[in-house]
Structure 1
Amino acid sequence: MARCGYAAKGLVYAVIGGLAIQIAFGSGGETTGPRGALSEIGSQPLGQFLLVIVGIGLFGYAAWRFVQAGFDPEHKRADAKGIAVRAGYVCSGVVYTLLGVEAIRLVVSSAGSSGGGGQSAEHWTAWLMQQPFGQVLVGLVGLAIIGTGAYQCYRAATADFQKMLKSHEMSATEVTWSERTGRAGFAARGVVYFLIGGGLMFAAVTTDPSEAIGIGQALSRLSNQSFGPWLLGLVAIGLIAYGLFSGLILCRYRRIIVPRT
């Protein structure tokens, strides 16, 4: 199930990047997030069938994240760093569970509007701000997302993701391209996380939930900057690269350690 999950995750990222790069090249497309990508998949021939497969894959990926968090098969340990990593696995599991639910919802309803996730981000930010110390919580979430973005960039710079691959089973060409797609993909994810985290930090400072953004709105803001089409194009290529890395490399060569019962 974990390998099916990496394939489904890769497809979603590839669709997000593919739609964004069309805008960068001036040939249509849209800036969208994972939910919009699912809608796009559903609009294709055999789209409902594909959504079922992708939904199952997303549930599989979520289950793997919960296994990583609960059973620690990769021995992240119980120190502060290990706890933070495993907490991140839980958050990832929740996110991909919700995406799996969204995929199945689109199949059942045979409808659904594409979008960048900005409205959802605004909704949850507004809810969080209504809680005790809500502004502080929103700021802390934004800071955590920025930290995640920094870690993505670190992984892009060091290519440490190669350690989780079964390199001895890969050809020299596969090793080379896994590094290239991984570096480009993690760098692009880092940029997106920086933009999302920055939006949340600004929302906390201004007490304005509308400043919170999702992936689609982050890409949209990027396109509106100086040299926007070029910046959007580079990030879109990186997201496509990450989709290939997850869907082709991680799906096949990721070390999957099954916890002992």
Structure 2
Amino acid sequence: MNAADTLRSAVPHSPTDGIKTMARLGFAAIGIVYVLMGMLALLAALGQREGALTDREEAVNRLQDVPGGNILLGLIAFGLLGYIIWRFTQAIRDTEDKGHGAKGLGMRIWYVISGLFYSGLALYAARLAMNGHAEKGGNTSQSLVAKVLNWPGGNWLILAIGLVMVGIGIYHAYRAFSGRFRNDVNSSSLSETQQRMVYRAGQIGFTARAIVLGILGYFLVQAGWESRAKAVGNTGKVFDFLATMGPLVLGAVSAGLVAYGIYMLVQARYPVLRGI
């Protein structure tokens, strides 16, 4: 195969191919973000100067300091857009065959929420790539919660959202210990040793992400219970919370997030994209 044939094979030949490509770019972008964020926190847990307890946006901001950082930021923004498109495709086309029952509709709504979860980060990375600076979304989250708390029954709504996020964390823990996440990677071309390594990375990674989501949900529950928007936190605040339990706990969760990022990069290379 010559260079022209290779180039043609990489170009999507249909809308379906395009969606698959965008999904893979999305998995890769998420993987890079989690590896970077987890590594910075792990270095901080080890007492290294280069480390930092950052949220996703601050971790992405660090890419401006590397050669070609603006290009990489643009690729991450584009990749995250791809992930959002894939999640919406899953919801609209029911690629996972969840059906139209209450449980199925709940999962399809979750796909939309999961995609939108990265929309702020995608916009932030795009603005950094184009302008070299961007306003962080942390204060925006607190402002939004503050507005909702002023609604009639707004504190109960925030509390309910927090409980849902805790539930999502529990679901991630279930995926980690049941091994259901393995269905997202096509490991047929991997050796048995590689398959075991990918499985362990996923198991550790989903466990760490479950912990982070559970704590984020706890912050929301606290904000709703106390009617206090400032109780809402981002991943950086989660790291601060974990740091109070000691460097061992912080380091373990940080390493787990690196493992999650690696798993997402493997999924980008060997994805299982059903229904398209």
Give the alignment's TM-score, normalised by structure 1. Answer: 0.93
8 Å Cα contact 1:17-1:237 kept in structure 2:
yes
Q: Secondary structure at the match of 1:168?
A: coil
Residue 13 to residue 75, structure 1, CA distance change in 2 (3 Å): same
- 1:63 maps to what in 2? 85
User: Which stretch shows the higher mean deviation, 145-154 or 103-112?
Assistant: 103-112
**Alignment partners' CA distance in 2, 1:169 and 1:72:** 27
Q: CA deviation at 1:129?
A: 1.2
Q: CA deviation at 1:123?
A: 2.1
**Alignment partners' CA distance in 1, 2:210 and 2:229:** 22
- 1:89 maps to what in 2? 111
Q: CA deviation at 1:103?
A: 0.8
**Alignment partners' CA distance in 2, 1:24 and 1:151:** 27
- 1:145 maps to what in 2? 165
Q: CA deviation at 1:56?
A: 0.8
Give the root-mean-square deviation of aligned CA atoms.
1.5
8 Å Cα contact 1:118-1:217 kept in structure 2:
no
1:253 aligns with 2:240: no
User: Which stretch shows the higher mean deviation, 120-129 or 205-214?
Assistant: 120-129
**Alignment partners' CA distance in 1, 2:170 and 2:140:** 24
* Aligned residue identity for 1:105: R
- 2:146 maps to what in 1? 126
- 1:180 maps to what in 2? 200
Q: CA deviation at 1:128?
A: 1.7
- 1:229 maps to what in 2? 247
**Alignment partners' CA distance in 2, 1:37 and 1:137:** 30
Structure with bigger gyration radius:
2
Structure 1 unaligned runs (5+)?
none
**Alignment partners' CA distance in 2, 1:121 and 1:221:** 18
* Greater relative contact order, per chain length (Cα 8 Å cut-off, separation 6+): 1
- 1:98 maps to what in 2? 120
Q: CA deviation at 1:112?
A: 4.0
Structure 2 unaligned runs (5+)?
1-21
After the TM superposition, which residues 6-17 of structure 1 pair with which residues of structure 2 at under 5 Å, given as runs? Answer: 6-17=27-38
User: Which stretch shows the higher mean deviation, 64-73 or 156-165?
Assistant: 156-165
CA offset digits 1:49-93 (Å, max 9, x no partner):
100111111100110011011111111122222212111111121
How many equivalent residue pairs?
A: 254
After the TM superposition, which residues 197-236 of structure 1 pair with which residues of structure 2 at under 5 Å, given as runs? Answer: 197-225=217-245, 228-236=246-254
- 1:45 maps to what in 2? 67
1:33 aligns with 2:55: yes
Q: CA deviation at 1:38?
A: 1.4
8 Å Cα contact 1:122-1:212 kept in structure 2:
yes
8 Å Cα contact 1:181-1:244 kept in structure 2:
yes
- 2:6 maps to what in 1? none
* Aligned residue identity for 1:245: Y
**Alignment partners' CA distance in 2, 1:258 and 1:76:** 11
Aligned with residue 168 of structure 1, among 184, 188, 209: 188
**Alignment partners' CA distance in 2, 1:36 and 1:108:** 17
Q: Secondary structure at the match of 2:170?
A: helix
Identity among equivalent positions (%) equals 35
Q: Secondary structure at the match of 2:117?
A: helix
Q: CA deviation at 1:258?
A: 4.7
Give the alignment's TM-score, normalised by structure 2. Answer: 0.88
8 Å Cα contact 2:38-2:254 kept in structure 1:
yes
